[in-house]
């Protein structure tokens, strides 16, 4: 997840808390505030002080202290010499999600076959509005630490998987996503202008796959195809990524493009 994306999600959640108060009798605000405390760590890959947690989650220090204390007691946060940090128990909830998602279960053997064929990193990401969420990553030996991690988010507008997804949406929905996206450059090569992004999306509609060269990571070339549900709506994407030190973009597209397109098509429910 990018820092800006994580901060936006916490702010949106805080706004939603206020909007729901008094209008939804089933809504438990205390539970939502506890989740906001956990989400505060999305912007901070380290332990945080109580003051930092309060500021990041949009609440006063007294409220944050009670919530942090409760989360420590039930095992989701721990106190360290540097502050408070999430515990491995959060991974239990991530595992619950991964094993209960039918798309992920169907995708595992498909991705494994694709990885054996291309011998490069293969990923499955899910479409979540302005971001793509990586839920399966089968790495190559050259990847950096963060490239291995599931749960990482990348922007929809500039990632290969994101533009593959956009190619299956109506124009008004594409424009809505682009206007709400934080279209900052992740690298010097990131495409941020709306007209240029739309041109890339049109190219995907013609070829069936999306190419991104150094747009999310410097030195990386990635090809992706959208995964569709039974109604033809995009729900995610399969990516193949490699190093520009070993592939030129044209050769990589010629190799990986047809393979990733076939793999994505194989995940669509019949």
76-122 pLDDT per residue, tens:
999 999 999 999 999 999 999 999 999 999 999 999 999 999 999 99
SS3 assignment, position 262: helix
One domain for residues 184 and 221: yes
CATH number, position 47: 1.10.10.10
Are 105 and 230 in the same domain?
Answer: yes
- Say if 93 falls within a structural domain: no
- Least confidently predicted of 12-16, 26-30, 44-48, 133-137: 12-16
If asked whether residues 188 and 255 sit together in one domain, one would say yes
Q: Choose among 134, 138, 165: nearest CA to 150.
A: 134
Whether residue 115 sits in one domain with residue 238: yes
Three-state secondary structure call for residue 244: coil
Percent of the chain residues past pLDDT 70, beyond the cut: 89
What's the pTM value of the predicted model, to 2 decimals? 0.82
| Residue indicated by tokens 């991104």 | 212
Over residues 203-216, the mean pLDDT reads 97
User: Quick one: 83 and 107 in the same domain?
Assistant: no
Structural domains of the chain, count: 2
Position of tokens 């190419």?
211
Instruction: Give the residue numbers spanning the domain of 14.
Output: 3-87
Q: What would the pLDDT profile of 9-22 be if each residue is shown by its tens digit?
A: 544 555 555 555 56
CB-hemisphere CA count at 13 Å for 21? 11
The verdict on 123 and 181 lying in the same domain is yes
Say whether both 82 and 148 belong to one domain: no
Within-domain flag for 150: yes
Write the pLDDT tens digit of every residue in 113-172.
999 999 999 999 999 999 999 999 998 765 554 555 788 899 999 999 999 999 999 999
In this structure, are strands 153-155 and 210-213 parallel, antiparallel, or unpaired? unpaired
190 and 147, same structural domain? Answer: yes
Residue 18 is predicted with a pLDDT of 52
> Do the Cβ atoms of 61 and 54 come closer than 8 Å?
yes
Considering the domain boundaries, does residue 44 fall inside one?
yes
Of the residues 55, 87, 119, which one is the last residue of a structural domain? 87
Element (H, E) at 256: helix 249-266
Verify that 233 and 208 share a domain, yes or no. yes
Could you tell me the two tokens for 266?
């194989």
Tell me, yes or no, whether 202 and 174 share the same domain. Answer: yes
In a domain, 72, yes or no: yes
Same domain, residue pair 127 and 250: yes
Cα–Cα distance measured from residue 190 to residue 117, given in angstroms and rounded to the nearest whole number: 29
């Amino acid at each position: 997840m990018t820092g800006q994306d994580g901060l936006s999600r916490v702010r949106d959640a805080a706004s939603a808390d206020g909007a729901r108060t008094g209008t939804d009798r089933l809504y438990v605000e205390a539970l939502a505030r506890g989740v906001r405390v956990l989400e505060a760590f999305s912007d901070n890959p380290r332990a945080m002080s109580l003051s930092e947690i309060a500021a990041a989650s949009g609440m006063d220090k007294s409220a944050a202290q009670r919530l942090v204390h409760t989360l420590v007691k039930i095992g989701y946060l721990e106190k360290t010499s540097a502050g408070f940090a999430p515990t491995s128990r959060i991974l239990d909830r991530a595992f619950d999600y991964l094993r209960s998602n039918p798309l992920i279960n169907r995708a595992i053997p498909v991705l494994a076959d694709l990885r054996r064929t291309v011998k490069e990193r293969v990923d499955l990401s899910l479409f979540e509005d302005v971001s793509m969420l990586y839920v399966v990553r089968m790495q190559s030996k050259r990847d950096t630490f963060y490239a291995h991690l599931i749960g990482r988010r990348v922007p929809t507008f500039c990632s290969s998987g994101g533009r593959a997804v956009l190619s299956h949406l109506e124009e008004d929905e594409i424009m809505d996503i682009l206007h709400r996206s934080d279209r900052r450059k992740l690298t010097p090569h990131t495409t941020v202008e709306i007209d240029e992004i739309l041109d890339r999306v049109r190219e995907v509609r013609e070829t069936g796959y999306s190419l991104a060269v150094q747009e999310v990571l410097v030195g990386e070339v990635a090809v992706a195809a959208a995964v569709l549900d039974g109604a033809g709506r995009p729900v995610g994407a399969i990516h193949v990524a490699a190093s520009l030190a070993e592939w030129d973009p044209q050769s990589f597209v010629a190799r990986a493009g047809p393979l990733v397109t076939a793999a994505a098509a194989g995940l669509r429910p019949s």
